[in-house]
Structure 1
């Protein structure tokens, strides 16, 4: 029996051969291999996926050990993308690492990274990450995004194959945030670096079972999207959860009827 058939024997008791083939014959781009991104690489590699692209500029450091799956005493000081590539091949020797980018996204490597990809797993949280969505929209690459709060998180699916996924609220928010500035799609790498330093958030608490839960939910939505099996929670809805309340629900994002969104607009306005 072929290696991947043995590997997916238990999965095939639920998913059909056709559904598994759809998943395996996919080029997956993963941006960010930290607390959320590493678990997505681990789980997706166990679906027999044949092609991966990896992007992350960071190396492992001791503060990553509390939550990041591939951070060990042996991987400290190594690039996260290199460690992830090795781990993927350890799980599935037939997987091909098509591309490794040891840098933040910019207007050159972003196109190289996403052109020809079938799906983007986006877990980076810097302001320059907006470029992923702009470029994915251009190439009609669906994006599954997730991020963690201290005790919970959010997962969103932007299926750019069928929609621009860009609401009136977002247009207003982006106008307020970016007014008077160069378009992000025109910024140089140096300008993107300055943007991240100006608008990036500071260090916050991070709990391993929270970040890894976000990653698991990302993979769940990605597998449903790729296989065509199950109901995907697509934009304008997202998954929201909190493990300390606790709850998990589907909610509509960027609604003009949500008072909290107006507070966000006012915050952006006064920051400018």
Structure 2
């Protein structure tokens, strides 16, 4: 341990950028900082390393797990400790001779004078939504002629406004409303970032929730704030350099490599700024933005927590044809209901078992996430004509289990129907995808222009059949295609590669089956959707893929009960599809399946759909021929296919959610 601390030696590497005299001047300065969170904590420690000698700080919060992404003092050892105490200890580890006065109860009318007594500069690091506390401190700073630096982390950059004595005040600049806290939060954000340089890459707008006073943040933004704020503090405290105070604002965005210094006369009273505020009000106030995939419920029963995660298993058109029953703390029953997809009985049974495999693999992964062993047993259905599949599920706590990495992607995985980048998939990723499935399966990737074109035509013909065939047209009803961007059942119209006008038209005509049929048949209304959804989307992809069963063997699965070997193969097919899909998500790869092309290529399915509807025979035969030409000798063994690629944008504007667990539990 160091016996003596030498200030001059400790901060000697500052000399050069500041003179020896200036370093000693900084040592005499006192800075007040309100808030020791993301920005305040880093501002504090950065100022300490600059050599500032005295501080008044305040924060009445404790560190919690949600602070770990951005707050410099948030560590496993500091959790549930007072932020101010932790930061003081860190600061005194840098300079033991610091003069620090802490205000553990925050700043209020009773202590604001003491908080600002003898202060040379104030860093505003108050929580963004605490407008009244901010106004209190600013008012006193204005009276005492104390400079204020207000920095906000914005995405992967920062916004900053500086208030100097004799210049524009905070009240003049922000023009706060008397009573509307949500509006004031908008005024604060837009005032510090009129250009909004950070908004173009916000991936999930639902995370900005003014009603709940929550917003996303990054450590990069907080660190940018500290560098910018302490640099301006140096200029102010040493009386050198140009300081652009309000009505100037500063924004630098590291993600876009852009800096803006905006001169805004009258601040938020500026006519252009008023328009920005008006538009922001419409976008954010009273929207009640719900973060998907919320609500994220926690149950007392660990089995219910597992089921709650497993309900995110994929299903055809997000139909969620399953239910749980007889739930206790060690077991429950799973029923896979018959699919909505009509067809020959052998194909519908296959689809049911494929759904079962998807769900059983998801249950296994969810069990590992909650540190439970998982096993299942098939229970034969004794009701004749009922295609419902029944399984007994068993769970056993095992704290030594390491959660499967794929379990983290169960909720995140979704069907991305948008066009992708043309960029080829990294060979290492392709190899990881091949390794994700069992030795009884293989994956074929096709990446050439010709192959994509052939897949596009095949998918277009399958989609056309679905739009025109009376037995399949129900997949375009309001129940299957939802006008909501985040429906709990069905597929959102907004997830397709179609225009806003097309979505409006679809919403209208899907309410009227006869009009829908007339539009599709007489006016060839399927042409534009096929061009955008099938042709363009398939051409804009990294690769087309097909998962093929190589043999009739299946992986050893103990305790599965009395089940036909062929059905067990179907279950394993579903398990492999889910592992492949989740592995894609793990590597940042989007996926859009094309299962109907497989279904409609089968001869028995073609006979089923051609019966009583002979005009569809020609199109169905074309699908079968195209499918066989693409896959050759493997055609009969293809179990799953579609397209994969790197998304053009990871922002999720629309996706299917799931029914709450309470809706999936069978009522007795």
Scaled by the length of structure 1, what TM-score is found?
0.81
Measure how far apart 1:116 and its partner are. 1.6
132, 145, 150: which one pairs with 2:150?
145
State whether residues 66 and 207 of structure 1, in contact with CA within 8 Å, keep that contact through their aligned partners in structure 2: yes
Match of 1:114 in 2: 116
Task: Please tell me whether residue 130 in structure 1 is matched to residue 135 in structure 2.
Answer: yes
Q: Summarize the Cα distance change of 1:168–1:71 in structure 2 as closer, same or farther, 3 Å threshold.
A: closer
Measure how far apart 1:78 and its partner are. 0.9
- Determine the C-alpha separation between the residues in 1 that align with 2:170 and 2:214: 29
Measure how far apart 1:168 and its partner are. 5.5
Relative to structure 2, which stretch is displaced further, 223-232 or 83-92?
A: 223-232
Name the count of aligned residue pairs. Answer: 249
Task: Please tell me whether residue 245 in structure 1 is matched to residue 248 in structure 2.
Answer: no
Match of 2:24 in 1: 21
158, 163, 171: which one pairs with 2:163?
158
- Determine the C-alpha separation between the residues in 1 that align with 2:213 and 2:179: 24
Q: Deviations over 1:36-60 (max 9, x none)?
A: 1111111111122221111111110
Relative to structure 2, which stretch is displaced further, 256-265 or 76-85?
A: 256-265
Measure how far apart 1:5 and its partner are. 1.2
- Determine the C-alpha separation between the residues in 1 that align with 2:171 and 2:123: 21
State whether residues 39 and 215 of structure 1, in contact with CA within 8 Å, keep that contact through their aligned partners in structure 2: yes
- Determine the C-alpha separation between the residues in 1 that align with 2:253 and 2:212: 21
Match of 2:243 in 1: 232
Relative to structure 2, which stretch is displaced further, 247-256 or 30-39?
A: 247-256
Relative to structure 2, which stretch is displaced further, 150-159 or 33-42?
A: 150-159
- Determine the C-alpha separation between the residues in 2 that align with 1:200 and 1:80: 25
204, 209, 214: which one pairs with 1:203?
214
Match of 1:83 in 2: 86
- Determine the C-alpha separation between the residues in 1 that align with 2:52 and 2:216: 33
CA RMSD of aligned residues (A): 2.8
Measure how far apart 1:231 and its partner are. 2.2
In structure 2, list runs of 5 or more residues that go unmatched. Answer: 181-209, 286-668
Q: Summarize the Cα distance change of 1:201–1:110 in structure 2 as closer, same or farther, 3 Å threshold.
A: farther
Task: Please tell me whether residue 260 in structure 1 is matched to residue 263 in structure 2.
Answer: no
Q: Deviations over 1:64-99 (max 9, x none)?
A: 1111111111111111111111111110111111x2
Measure how far apart 1:220 and its partner are. 0.9
Q: What secondary structure does 2:76 align onto?
A: coil
Match of 2:227 in 1: 216
Q: What secondary structure does 2:15 align onto?
A: helix
Measure how far apart 1:217 and its partner are. 0.8
31, 34, 41: which one pairs with 1:31?
34
Relative to structure 2, which stretch is displaced further, 37-46 or 17-26?
A: 17-26
Measure how far apart 1:235 and its partner are. 1.9
- Determine the C-alpha separation between the residues in 2 that align with 1:54 and 1:245: 33
- Aligned pairs for 1:2-17 (under 5 A) are 3-17=6-20
- Determine the C-alpha separation between the residues in 2 that align with 1:92 and 1:112: 24
State whether residues 167 and 245 of structure 2, in contact with CA within 8 Å, keep that contact through their aligned partners in structure 1: no
Match of 1:192 in 2: none
Measure how far apart 1:264 and its partner are. 2.3
Match of 2:526 in 1: none
State whether residues 146 and 154 of structure 1, in contact with CA within 8 Å, keep that contact through their aligned partners in structure 2: yes
Relative to structure 2, which stretch is displaced further, 76-85 or 15-24?
A: 15-24
State whether residues 168 and 247 of structure 2, in contact with CA within 8 Å, keep that contact through their aligned partners in structure 1: no
State whether residues 163 and 170 of structure 2, in contact with CA within 8 Å, keep that contact through their aligned partners in structure 1: no
Q: Summarize the Cα distance change of 1:18–1:178 in structure 2 as closer, same or farther, 3 Å threshold.
A: same
Higher relative contact order, chain-length normalized (CA < 8 Å, sep 6+): 1
Q: Deviations over 1:232-251 (max 9, x none)?
A: 23222121122222311211
State whether residues 149 and 229 of structure 2, in contact with CA within 8 Å, keep that contact through their aligned partners in structure 1: yes
Measure how far apart 1:179 and its partner are. 6.7
Measure how far apart 1:261 and its partner are. 3.0
Relative to structure 2, which stretch is displaced further, 108-117 or 53-62?
A: 108-117
State whether residues 40 and 219 of structure 1, in contact with CA within 8 Å, keep that contact through their aligned partners in structure 2: yes
Task: Please tell me whether residue 62 in structure 1 is matched to residue 62 in structure 2.
Answer: no
Q: Deviations over 1:202-225 (max 9, x none)?
A: 211111111211122111111111
Q: What secondary structure does 2:84 align onto?
A: helix
Q: Deviations over 1:128-186 (max 9, x none)?
A: 222121111111111111112233321121112x335257664xx33xx1179xxxxxx
- Determine the C-alpha separation between the residues in 1 that align with 2:158 and 2:271: 19
Q: What secondary structure does 1:204 align onto?
A: coil
Scaled by the length of structure 2, what TM-score is found?
0.35
